[in-house]
Chain A
């Protein structure tokens, strides 16, 4: 509907009444349950907020305390960042390999696709509990398999050992999301124009060269999307940690989200301002991370073409 130039074209002007009708409910929900809460969190960050509703202005005190005096915060940041940087690499590259395997027209491709997609649909709670059992020292699948092949020395309490807890959880999320990435990449590969691939075939490239120089560049946008999606997902992660290790042992799996929750609702600190400040800092962190990541990955694209 274009804007009318003449005043008299009442019937053809932008129908503001109808438009408001369509947009208002969504905008109201957004304003009330997203925009306002975000603003309020930032407000909280600059206050000490007590349970009885009292709010005292503290300026940047919370921020300073977090950045200077809070080793747990930094541990959580380290864990979360490690997760958010390692996972995309693992999940996307494995997903790509699997997608290529299916793309080479393996029989039962449809079955595999459906089977590998399933972990994504299961709630993190269920996934967490299942993997707690899998990692169980005495009878979990992980250790049983090791004992089966005679590697008894390698068995350990995977989730109980500070050194292995985080890697073990990263393994779990990789298990969950590789299938998803595989499905997406398969769709991307299938939508590639077959002429390009046939031309590469005619050029008599080896399999490896064809992969690296023809196929990967063509699905690059999708790969980038998946990396960013994975990054964002890991920066937010809460459910899995909460169910399995609760941030332990010894803060080896503490993430920013579990730390915020604990400070706000678990520990008797009675101050919502401090965790709000952490959330605010993290919010900026995530946005910056996404921007940096996308510009970093995008710019390389321009350089090569």
Chain B
């Protein structure tokens, strides 16, 4: 049985034209790390706050462990939340910050102290128990906020973009710590973020939201490989998937090719057969940068495209090439080897791994399903 169940959850603010959250249904299983991912304003924080009990639910049902929680006050829901700004009480030291919630419950002093010291040890905060928040670094404050949640041993942990206020290096290390923590506690966690790297690395499942509704839910790699529309396709992956207007054209016999700008790329026969019904259709052609490489080392099934190099971005471990193909209005980004010798202004041939392509309908932006053995 799922720990957290949302059914048709909707949030409408007084005087608001659009609903902030529209008809969201989601199940979070026991021990899952569910990431709510989306651009700002998509409703993910609002949804989280409704689960927490900090916002009222306009319509729909929320249940935790099968028990309906719609009107239940936050403190009775057995959940803990880690806020983006940590929300540490500035006038209390670390120990009191962590014990604050427990004291309210009337637990005996000894139990509280023990729980606090255990959690502090778990998070490496033991030397800081007497310090006040202003004497701590960002990462330490983040851990205190975590500790405050852990010490309550809740059914569900909620995270509201907790790593956004940390600098890049700290974010990377905290990500790893959170993953370890999740495994160690076997806890159910719901995590809100706009950062797709966090979502991909930490989540057991990702739920992508846009404009108040859920677009796609699934395991990170599933969504990465099989996005349900162009929004999801472009949102995951950095640099984002190349999306180009194209057309499926019939060649001789049953061969199909993709026409992009001035180039016509023949599809491999297995793909051509599957897509035959769509011949003549305008599509959006999607291909991830890592599926494009320079001429040497091209995998079978790759089609060749002549391009002009617009810019070269050497990242050290790899190189990004920004390419322009004749007749294409958008630029193409390719992820190539770090040994690439390409220079801006040159004309080079690149190979596109068409086996990995995605096709989307230009009107609905939805994916055109291609069954393939991968």
Contacts and interface: CB of A to CB of B under 8 A. Distances in A.
A and B touch in the complex (CB under 8 A): yes
Interface of A: 2-6, 8-13
Nearest to B13: A2
A146 to B, nearest CB: 58
Contacts of A10: 71
Given A2-B55, A2-B56, A8 B70 contact: yes
B58 A11 contact: no
A12 to B, nearest CB: 4
Contacts of A6: 56-59, 70-71
Interface in B28-66: 53, 55-59
B250 interface: no
A4 to B, nearest CB: 4
B71 A2 contact: no
Interface residues of B, number: 14
A2 B13 CA distance: 8
A6 B70 CA distance: 9
A13 B13 CA distance: 13
B57 A9 contact: yes
Contact of A3 (B14, B57, B72): B14
B55 A12 contact: yes
29 contacts: A2-B13, A2-B55, A2-B56, A3-B14, A4-B56, A5-B12, A5-B14, A5-B58, A5-B59, A6-B57, A6-B58, A6-B59, A6-B70, A6-B71, A8-B71, A9-B56, A9-B57, A9-B70, A11-B53, A11-B71, A11-B72, A11-B73, A11-B74, A12-B53, A12-B55, A12-B56, A12-B71, A12-B73, A13-B56
Interface SS, B side: loop
A27 to B, nearest CB: 25
A2 B57 contact: no
A166 to B, nearest CB: 52
A244 B3 CA distance: 79
A5 B58 CA distance: 5
A8 B72 CA distance: 9
A9 B14 contact: no
A9 B12 contact: no
A208 B177 CA distance: 60
B56 to A, nearest CB: 4
A3 B55 CA distance: 9
Interface in B64-102: 70-74
A11 B97 CA distance: 24
A48 to B, nearest CB: 52
Nearest to A7: B71
Contacts of A12: 53, 55-56, 71, 73
Contacts of B55: 2, 12
B71 A9 contact: yes
Given A9-B57, A12-B53, A12-B56, A2 B70 contact: no
User: Which 8 A-B residue pairings sit nearest by Cβ, starting from the closest?
Assistant: A11-B73, A4-B56, A9-B56, A5-B58, A12-B56, A8-B71, A9-B71, A10-B71
A11 to B, nearest CB: 4
A2 B14 contact: yes
A10 to B, nearest CB: 6
Contacts of A4: 56
Contacts of A2: 13-14, 55-56
Nearest to B68: A8
Contacts of A8: 70-71
Contacts of B71: 6, 8-12
A8 B53 CA distance: 13
